[in-house]
A and B are shown apart, each in its own frame.
Chain A
Amino acid sequence: MAGRKFDSKALAKGVFSIVVFLVLWEIGSRSKTWITAESLSGFRDALGAMGFSKKYLPWIGAIPAPSEVVLAWGTVLFDPGYWHSWMMSGMRVGGGFFAAMLVGIPFGLALAVSRTTYGIGFPVFELLRPIPPLAWVPASIIFWPTQELSIAFVTFLGAFYTIVINVVGGARSIDVRFFQAAQSMGSSKADIFRRVILPGTLPSIVVGSAVGMGITWEVVVAAEMISGGGSQVGGTSGGGLGFFIWNSYVGGSYEQIVVGMISIGIAGFISSELLRHFGKYLTPWLRLR
């Protein structure tokens, strides 16, 4: 929030929390014994008696320590393939997301405004909506001529449903008095659409987009892993961040797995922040109270 005072106590708590988390992770990972089957021998014996063996227990020692991750990141930063992965994922997310906005907002508005469109369009929409976007991956690969398009399509689906549902809900929840007032003052249908429905729905469009953006990142990572990166270059040099993680796993570079995971977190955070700021700029009346 724009007007909120800087809260140094909250910052201190936040830093403390993160530092403790990293320290525990570092110790756990380096000691190679902490939270392992070895250290919890009593627990292990109990489980053993129940028929479980050691290999079924999680082992933090198997996960690279934060310091190792930072080192790996330092090397990867100079690898153009890493940045290429960022770009590939970014393009897929961006492309799918903007396509979803481009199709979803007008479609949602049409559903909300016209009973005929709603009657015809909504049943099909509701029929397809429960299908998770990732279930579309194989069909999408078959349907679209290039793998790039099929990944973009799946990310499109991730954002599309959320955006449409939010637009329909937003437009329908506009207070009927606004329409009555506008009508009384001589507004035409087009004018009401432009000056009442559109701005009245804008907050929901912003919310829908923010949620949709989050889903898009979830979807693109999985789609890249499943489809094998979608790039002829392959390896770490072009498959997107999802494939970067998968490839690191296959190649046994465990530090890079974590690097990829954190990178996606950062990418998601940046895109949400961008959207949030743009949304605030579009809906100034919501932040001024």
Chain B
Amino acid sequence: MSENQVPRPIVASGEIAVRGVSKSYGEAHLAREVVKDCDFTVERGKLTVMIGPSGCGKSTLIRLLAGFESPDTGSILLDGAPITGPSRDRLVLFQESALFPWMTTWDNILYGPRARGEVTRQTLEFAEFLLNKVGLRDFRNKYPTQLSGGMQRRAELARAMINNPQIMILDEPFRGLDAMTKELMWEYYANLFDESGRTNFFVTTDIDEAVFLADRLLIMTNIPAQVRTVIEVDVPRPRKLSDMVTNDRANAVKMEALAILHEEAMKSFSRGSKAAADFVEAYARRSAKA
């Protein structure tokens, strides 16, 4: 598909700085602190992956970065300017498909440009390019319900990318897909990232997904969410899934990350979280094998 030479708009990648952010829900003494004194940076042009136990406040952080909610304290800055609300600078891909069911693939992809009245010949060519890129050329006139789960996720990637956001934010976007489709999606997505060089912020609970995709890996503590460790995944790009299995650095990162996640899971388990029990058990078996 690389012969498809469409004049593509130049993407100005952004950088997000999260500084001392806290967020709690509920009134007064019933308040539950979900994010506490959280500090991290989503570096320009890099794929930053955030991994943490489920229910650790990752989705709250996403809503804050997207601007759907604002932090109680602290600040979130995009290239130095505070984030005040949702904007096409920071597009979010949700856990489940948020494609508009009443629009065809093509209309979904063109939603953003039409909303802003920016449909030019160049936009249409770019839409065409993206449609090919995500392998949905033959499905342009299909409605989301007619697409498979993987196709829906790809259509959504295209719908986000046509807006040339400075940052793409992805909230467990491949959750719920079967293992094979998931791996296919990783390669599609990594390929799109490598080509665009755009800043990406990717949240997941899947360690294999995290290590395969990440330039930087942020490992979260249990709730209230804080960044516990940052690991630079210095494995050269573009990566191949088959190579990653045998890559020593990738495996070292994976083990390091798992050890930290296990520690966090143990903490929450001892505090009565049932969700952590599964992880603790799975980790015990895995390390027994290794």
Contact = CB atoms under 8 A, between A and B. Distances in A.
A180 B115 contact: no
5 closest Cβ contacts across the A-B interface? A185-B112, A199-B102, A285-B143, A187-B115, A177-B98
A185 B145 contact: no
A186 B145 contact: no
Contact of B111 (A177, A195, A200, A283): A195
A181 B94 contact: yes
Nearest to A183: B86
Nearest to A180: B68
A178 interface: yes
A184 B100 contact: no
A283 B91 contact: no
Contacts of A289: 145-146
B88 interface: yes
B198 interface: no
A166 to B, nearest CB: 17
A186 B98 contact: no
A180 B143 contact: no
B49 to A, nearest CB: 21
Interface residues on chain B, size class: 20 to 34
What band does the interface of chain A fall in when counting residues whose beta carbon is under 8 Å from B? Answer: 20 to 34
A288 interface: yes
Nearest to B101: A285
Contact of B102 (A182, A183, A186, A200): A200
A200 B98 CA distance: 13
Given A177-B94, A186-B163, A285 B111 contact: no
B90 interface: yes
B143 to A, nearest CB: 4
A191 interface: yes
A113 interface: no
A288 B145 CA distance: 7
A196 interface: yes
Interface in A87-128: none
B157 interface: no
Interface-central residue, B87, B94, B115, by most chain A CB under 10 Å = B115
Interface in A167-206: 175, 177-178, 180-188, 191, 195-196, 199-200, 202
